Structure 1
Amino acid sequence: MTHRTIRRRGAIAALVAPAVIAAVPAVASAAPVIAADAICVRPVQPASGGLTAPPLAVTGSGFGPGAQVTLRRGARSISGVAGADGTISAQLSVFDLLTGTVPRSTPFTVVAEDAGGPGGTPPAQGVSNTINLRAAPLAFSATPKRARPSAKVTFKLSGFTPDLPIYAHYRYGGKVRANVKFGRASNPCGLLTVKRRQIPVSNPQTGLWRVQFDQSPRFSAKSTPRLSASINVFRTYVNR
């Protein structure tokens, strides 16, 4: 009987600059309104392989000129002063939502509150609209963790580029032995759940196999985004 164990390689490591609020030219609206530059935040990966967590850009208008404005993401918040035209621009850190190794899509919200200026001038404009967003780490899992190479296992992936196919490249002894199209990453968080054979090769040799998940039909060590794993194939003997 042949089994395997699977190990995940690669971890996210990033520094995000402190969030700040600054005035930007815009046309003020009758009530506070905010918007974000993304629907789902995903890590960014250069060809060198390290992962970074880009901040979420939030803009808004309709705030009181010079009013104290607080942006909230769950229990986290930053504060600043609206510009003379009642606008704001902020960079919110989402690093904590992108550091996991479990494939997922995490919902979160962002809201702004105008508390007015010193002494009530300008008067408080109240709470803005709430933005509903999601965050997805670049991650994968395989279930069960131990199975025959020919058995089908459930692969779950997240954080890939939406609307593009995800491929698995199987290598042994430094050579590519199989390229398998898993399916298309969903929009907007790049998720995919699929059942495939553990190793799509007849009678795979024992030893260490390496798998790279990416979005290129052919294997390249510099494809981005990418995730790597290893599969240890070994024989077991049963006494009869």
Structure 2
Amino acid sequence: VLAHRVNQGCGAAVRTGLLHGRDGGFDVAVKLDADGQHDPADIPELIRPILEDRADVVYGNRFPRMSYRMPFVRRVGNTLFRKLMRWLTRWDIKDSQPGIFAVNAAYLKVCFIPGDYNYTQQVLLDAYLKGMRFDQKPVAFNRRESGESFISLKYPFKTLPQILMLMVLVRPLKVFLPLASLFLGVAAVVFVIELALWFAGYTSRPVENTNLVLGLAMFGLNTGFFGLLAELVVRRTS
């Protein structure tokens, strides 16, 4: 049994377990919440896509077999995060936050969970960015038998920074390139508008706000260059 002497968070606990599986040469690792909401009897079906070499990461899907009505706030939160993860990964994710999932040795070798607070979105995004195959299986989901959920209104404020941090550390160009494009685009729009105003005779110079245009353009170029440099470093060290 592995244990942290001090509570470091759910994400840290899952990271320790996955790294133990990697170091132990496990073929398959399964994460299962200990609060009684998930049924261990679902594990054989959960790992079937891995054993049949059809997936590297398999998440449980709680909604087809949920035995109670999830509170409204959590239903909304689950829907929003599911849509976010679908958009980020392009996977047809039915449930992005189950308490049960399985991974194979291929993912164990490369897994990276930098955030300590939660793991569900981090594992999904990390697996996607590393070219892993994904699948989902329906699993039982019952009322909690013991303990309390750590999910509260602060959940999105702690989870979203973890998602951004993971993207920056694993695929920085996916973060910095859109940001660079945004600043360069704004600079181009301002330049075109001011040039049009000059042609129309409304201003005395082609570009009145030269510092603004140059500042936006330089910030965009520097951001793009930094993202490219960070991407090269990540790829070289991974």
* TM-score, normalising length: structure 2: 0.22
* TM-score, normalising length: structure 1: 0.22
> Which structure features the higher share of strand residues?
1
> Which structure features the higher share of helix residues?
2
